[in-house]
């Protein structure tokens, strides 16, 4: 794996991310603080930015701002994410 590919490799797979999301959210569609994923700020921003860049994945993600730690997801400020149940169709 090249250094560039290693830099872009997801910190966790999409399946792992969805499982972690459901653990915190209880059900799809509920907002979860990005800080709840227990990653460093840089890891959180890289992970969610990478998935947000992929059209087939990003259409299931909803980022929002509320109270809590702010992160830059592809240049946009976000504190929370919710994931649509239909993401299961690509897992």
- DSSP assignment of 10-72, as one string? -SS-HHHHHHHHHHHHSSTT--EEGGGG---HHHHHHHHHHHHH-HHHHTTEEEE--SS--EE
Structural domain span for residue 57: 3-90
Q: Once rounded to an integer, what is the mean pLDDT over residues 32-50?
A: 95
For residue 65, the model assigns a pLDDT of: 97
Average pLDDT, the chain: 91
pLDDT at 1 over 90: no
* pLDDT tens column, 64-83: 999 999 999 999 999 999 99
pLDDT tens digits, 2-21? 344 445 556 899 999 999 99
pLDDT of residue 7: 53
pTM of the model: 0.87
Read off the tokens for 56.
């087939």
Looking at the structure of the chain, the number of domains it has is 1
């Amino acid at each position: 794996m090249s250094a560039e590919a290693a830099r872009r490799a997801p910190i966790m797979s999409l399946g792992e991310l969805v499982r972690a999301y459901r653990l915190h959210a209880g059900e799809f569609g509920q907002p979860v603080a990005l800080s709840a994923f227990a990653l460093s700020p840089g890891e959180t921003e890289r992970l969610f930015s990478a998935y947000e860049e992929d059209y087939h994945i990003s259409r299931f993600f909803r980022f929002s701002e509320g109270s809590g730690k702010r992160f830059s997801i592809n240049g946009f400020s976000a504190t929370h994410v919710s994931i649509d149940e239909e993401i299961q169709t690509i897992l």
